Structure 1
């Protein structure tokens, strides 16, 4: 069900995705995220929160560790499930802010948006530093 929704958001209904990083399997360390995801091409990040939200972001820009923002006019955020039974939704990037689409800081996990619309901190299973706006 979620795969079809994500593919609809992506715009290719038969897209196949490869799982390259899963924090509960590979660890919550930012370095591990980057070692597994850097230079891998377009990615969809799916996040499950402690309070039953399933959400994330897409970027066509391969992740790096060069401590800079990357521009991506195709980036988007999404929700899949919420505890309030709100239908899945896709949120397109503000065209005036595409230069801040994703943040490639080596000490961060996946981070989307200037001011960080979604930010996963290093070792996010052991602290409260991750957030959404």
Structure 2
């Protein structure tokens, strides 16, 4: 199983995603694309970061609201697993805490977990 578990994504959830998008665009020299979102407060955009314009999305800069309201404001690595539900259940048995999910996110099934030392990471179902 370990050889199938790969880093799949990075993202950060912040209070002001527009400010963070501008910051990371300047620092990293990347381009961005908007992801339309909405919650009970209205519509807004989260953002994908791209190494090259119109290239594959490499990371996300998200508002810490709506679906991401429980997500900590830190860069979170996501790891691909064969079975999200099995991986989350096993993490809990081993002493981890589920922060968010499992839930659907942009056509992907994800969960965010805090490990035994407090480190936060995401799991993505294959």
What is the TM-score of this pair, normalised by structure 1?
A: 0.26
Larger Rg, first or second structure (1 or 2): 2
Higher RCO (Cα < 8 Å, 6 or more apart): 2
Q: Which has the higher strand share?
A: 2
